[in-house]
Amino acid sequence: MDIEERIKLVLKKPTEEVLTVENLRHLFEIGAPLQHYIGFEISGYIHLGTGLMAGAKIADFQKAGIKTRVFLADWHSWINDKLGGDLETIQEVALKYFKVGMEKSIEVMGGKPEKVEFVLASEILEKGDYWQTVIDISKNVTLSRVLRSITIMGRKMGEAIDFAKLIYPMMQVADIFYQGVTIAHAGMDQRKAHVIAIEVAEKLRYHPIIHNGEKLKPVAVHHHLLLGLQEPPKWPIESEEEFKEIKAEMKMSKSKPYSAVFIHDSPEEIREKLRKAFCPAREVKYNPVLDWVEYLVFREEPTEFTIHRPAKYGGDVTYTTFEELKRDFAEGKLHPLDLKNAVAEYLIDLLEPIRKYFERHPEPLELMKSVQITR
Ligand SMILES: Nc1ncnc2c1ncn2[C@@H]1O[C@H](COP(=O)(O)OP(=O)(O)OP(=O)(O)O)[C@@H](O)[C@H]1O
Ligand SMILES: N[C@@H](Cc1ccc(O)cc1)C(=O)O
């Protein structure tokens, strides 16, 4: 596969941003080690955003010949008070639930889970000179910048926090260098950590990434944040500014279970969640159901997506691109209820292998029921 095709795979939906494409091309051209990673805190259930958006990109990276890694951020979850802030519970959930949930998510998105390396943060950070790397990075970042970057923990700027939470962003940057990551991947909400990594790359003394004597800058790949299904806090949204703010705040999140479809949800739960979803007729600017259609159903285009309707409402209709479907929706030719039903059935089909797996192996979900999900 030539370099341009590999770049196309990295840029493919749901990628929203690559920092930078030039640097990515450079990595391919010089034959640098292509080591990807995406990190996750360990807390509640895996949803479509965490499982399928990340899974889709992992599948693309594998096709582009990039080594993929999922980083189970147990220490970071402890710092961020997840699962009662109990490290042992966090590690048990990471290995017995999260790993298998991610493997299944990667598989339904066309990736090869057996080729993904799963690394528990404590495996690397309890040994060697990890903390030296953390200090090296910290010496190159101002306190005000660290304070601004706590949004990568799902915290609000200015929120009252304990001191350990200021170490977390520096650890997240160190994770990249310490593991020799050349392709750092996450959702858009994590970009602050990656921008710091790119900026400090050339200044580091401990664990810079070196190839043939050249200090490499990591490439950051950020995927789209799938919207949650809930109604926005303010409606209608008036300005472009307001729109941007609300979109970031409205991402699907495990701490807002009503906003999310989880990968193990039953068909009844999926139908019910979609029935209640925010999806005003003709609204194409802020519409979570359309957002899911754009990034899940039409990740590959053209794709045939059929919406079944009774003959009196126009009969079945098949779309091959998102733009066609969006146009009909905007013109009122496609009713929200018909769209919601079709999306629910699409997800029920897509998630069937995961549901079936958990029916045969209920232990991970039983473990999840027994833990206290604190954040
Ligand atoms: N809605 C989403 N769509 C796409 N990616 C997401 C979404 N939510 C989280 N991610 C990505 O998944 C990874 C893990 O995120 P995280 O553990 O914060 O998930 P979360 O469910 O949003 O948690 P929280 O409840 O703390 O908000 C990050 O790379 C993040 O950007
Ligand atoms: N900050 C990430 C989790 C993470 C932790 C450490 C990392 O190295 C990478 C990612 C999140 O909240 O989802």
pLDDT digits (tens, 9 = 90+) for 20-67: 999 999 999 999 999 999 999 999 999 999 999 999 999 999 999 999
Let me know: does 179 contact 30? Beta carbons within 8 Å.
no
Enumerate residues 6+ apart whose C-beta is below 8 A from 324.
none
- As a whole number of Å, the CA-based R_g of the chain is 21
Distances (CA, A) of 25 to 73, 265, 373: 29, 40, 42
Closest to 307 in 3D by CA, of 324, 295, 288? 324
Ligand at minimal distance from the CA of 223 is 1
Cα 348 to Cα 273: distance, rounded to the nearest angstrom: 12
Q: Is the CB of 291 under 6 A from ligand 2?
A: no
Q: Rounded mean pLDDT of 128-148?
A: 96
Span 300-347, pLDDT tens digits: 999 999 999 999 999 999 999 999 999 999 999 999 999 999 999 999
- All structural domains of the chain, each given as residue ranges with its CATH number in brackets, are 3-223 (3.40.50.620), 240-259+266-350 (1.10.240.10)
Please check the confidence at residue 251 and state whether its pLDDT lies above 80: yes
Q: Is the CB of 190 under 6 A from ligand 1?
A: yes
Binding residues for ATP, by number, are 254
Burial zone of 341 (CB within 10 Å; 0-12 exposed, 13-18 middle, 19+ buried) = middle
Confidence of residue 213 (pLDDT cuts 50, 70, 90): very high
Cα 94 to Cα 107: distance, rounded to the nearest angstrom: 18
3-state DSSP assignment of residue 314: coil
Position 339: which residue type? L
Q: Is the CB of 257 under 6 A from ligand 1?
A: no
Residue of 53, 125, 152 to test ligand 2 pocket, by largest number of atoms within 8 Å of CB: 152
> E strand or H helix at 71, and its extent?
strand 69-73
Ligand 2 atom with the shortest distance to the CA of 186: 10
Q: Is the CB of 250 under 6 A from ligand 1?
A: no
By DSSP bridging, strand 15-19 and strand 69-73 are unpaired
Orientation of helix 164-178 relative to helix 191-200, angle to 10°: 60
Ligand 2 atom with the shortest distance to the CA of 80: 12
Specify the pLDDT at position 127: 75
Q: Is the CB of 299 under 6 A from ligand 2?
A: no
Q: Is the CB of 54 under 6 A from ligand 1?
A: yes
Residue 263 has, within 13 A of its CA and on its CB side, a CA count of 31
Let me know: does 307 contact 342? Beta carbons within 8 Å.
yes
Ligand at minimal distance from the CA of 77 is 2
By DSSP bridging, strand 36-41 and strand 183-187 are parallel
Residue 309 has, within 13 A of its CA and on its CB side, a CA count of 18
Binding residues, by number, are 37, 168, 172, 175, 190, 254
Specify the pLDDT at position 257: 65
Token pair 């795979």 is at which residue? 9
Q: Is the CB of 50 under 6 A from ligand 1?
A: yes
Q: Rounded mean pLDDT of 234-244?
A: 84
Distance 310 CA to ligand 1 centre (A): 38
Rounded mean pLDDT of the chain?
A: 95
Position 177: which residue type? F
Please check the confidence at residue 235 and state whether its pLDDT lies above 90: no
Residue of 156, 189, 374 to test ligand 1 pocket, by largest number of atoms within 8 Å of CB: 189
Ligand at minimal distance from the CA of 255 is 1
Distance 193 CA to ligand 1 centre (A): 14
> E strand or H helix at 16, and its extent?
strand 15-19
Please check the confidence at residue 244 and state whether its pLDDT lies above 80: no
Cα 71 to Cα 40: distance, rounded to the nearest angstrom: 6
Q: Is the CB of 73 under 6 A from ligand 2?
A: yes
Let me know: does 151 contact 191? Beta carbons within 8 Å.
no
Position 216: which residue type? L
What is the b/e burial string over 200-213, where b = at least 16 CB atoms within 10 angstroms of the residue's CB?
Answer: bbeebebbbbeeee
Distance 101 CA to ligand 1 centre (A): 14
Please check the confidence at residue 284 and state whether its pLDDT lies above 80: yes
Q: Rounded mean pLDDT of 101-117?
A: 98
Residue nearest to atom 29 of ligand 1 (CA): 186
Question: To the nearest 5 percent, what fractions of the chain are helix, strand and coil?
Answer: 55, 15, 35
Let me know: does 198 contact 183? Beta carbons within 8 Å.
no
Alpha-carbon torsion angle 17, 18, 22, 24, nearest 10: -160
3-state DSSP assignment of residue 254: coil
Phi and psi torsions of 86, nearest 5° = -105, 110
Q: Is the CB of 56 under 6 A from ligand 1?
A: no
Distance 253 CA to ligand 1 centre (A): 6
Q: Is the CB of 225 under 6 A from ligand 1?
A: yes
ipTM above threshold 0.90: yes
